Amino acid sequence: MKKTKVLNSELSAVIASMGHTDTIAIGDAGLPIPDSSKRIDLAVKRNLPPFLDVLETVLCELEVEEVTIASEMIEDNPGLFKKINELFSSIKINLVTHSEFKEMTKNCKAVVRTGECMPYANIILHSGVAFSCEE
């Protein structure tokens, strides 16, 4: 049995295949998933699993250099916006409209559907590199 954090085989495989600047989205239960992106559906029922649990687990295995969220989160989900700012205090947070965000998911390697049922609980993670060129 795998001993690192991500146990879902589809999600683990996508994370392992990501290269620099590749993207993966984690979304709420209502985020539309384009046919061009791999769908990883983790939703079991309303709010299970929660968005933040999935995000924090993915962050244990994926090097992230920047993130993108919908600007509507600022007003419509300020608690989550605050948590996102805490989690990503040292990297760039891009703000786009929710319409632009949905368009961007078309280029994601995968979109992970959680059971989250709060507004704008969606994020795109831009893969970084986990090594340094310095010796």
**Pair type for strands 64-70 and 123-127:** antiparallel
Query: Using an 8 Å Cβ cutoff, are 124 and 33 in contact?
Result: no
43 annotated ligand binder: no
Dihedral sign for Cα atoms in the order 96, 98, 103, 105: positive
Whether residue 28 is annotated as binding a ligand: the answer is yes
126 is catalytic: no
CA distance 104 to 23: 9
Alpha-carbon span 25 to 100, nearest angstrom: 13
121 is in an annotated binding site: yes
What's 133's DSSP letter? S
Catalytic residue among 5, 20, 82, 106: 20
Question: Binding site membership: which residues?
Answer: 28, 98, 120-122
Binding residues for substrate: 28, 98, 120-122
Residues taking part in catalysis: 20
